[in-house]
Structure 1
Amino acid sequence: MAFLRRLGWYLVGLSIGIVFLVFFLQKKSEETGTEFCYFPNCRVLKDLRSKPLVFGDKLQETFRDTILIQSFLKDGDIDFRNSDTKSEPCKIYRIEKDIDNRKRILQVQNCKDSIVVESLSY
């Protein structure tokens, strides 16, 4: 009988903890604009999205589409192997994304105050 009483109290405490945790995590979810980024790809893309966008001089006029660039910064995959993450003062990242079953590559410079879009290759 003592075991069942302890099990009951354990389940009561566990259910209260789960309700509290669900309430806390729901408040921190995307509904409030907060997202949890733990992986390097997600963290770099989140940092890039937080800065103003500047188009480089070499970028063609047809590729100066903010919506297209924002789609890379939201759903792209950073190619860390071909990126220069140690350069100063701006780090250079290559972001890949499949559009219409073809791989597109966006190259950006991540500076302190802004990001500079250098090139977009098809």
Structure 2
Amino acid sequence: MYTIVPFGEENKPKLPPQIGDVTLNELMKMKDVEVSIKDNTLKAKKITPTETLTLEVKLYPDGIEKTERIINRPYKKKELRATVVQFLREGKTQSEIAYILDMSQSYVSKLIKKAKEKGEI
């Protein structure tokens, strides 16, 4: 889900309830949440046995872009090939896909190769 929210007191960014309504400092101290901040982008990821939750917030001069994702974790990672193909169509890089799906970039590359062999790309 993509949204751009203008700055203002009534529109302060909030974390999705899946990760929790906590401050950034609290979020960064949580052991089960991976948080990174680079340039104008904050990324947070929490992995549970059944799903991967990600939040990405990009700051712009006139507002923010917030992306929330909930990806079900299949029994086997190869079952995510269709999701990888969809992310590729949306313009995501292999590294971005690997981060979102919690797998290595090389495994994403293997899934892409398999999708090409099957004519899915």
Q: Quick check: TM above 0.5? A: no
Higher alpha-carbon Rg: 1
More strand by share: 2
What TM-score comes out, normalization by structure 2 length?
0.29
TM-score (normalizing by structure 1):
0.29
Structure with more of its chain in helix, by fraction: 1
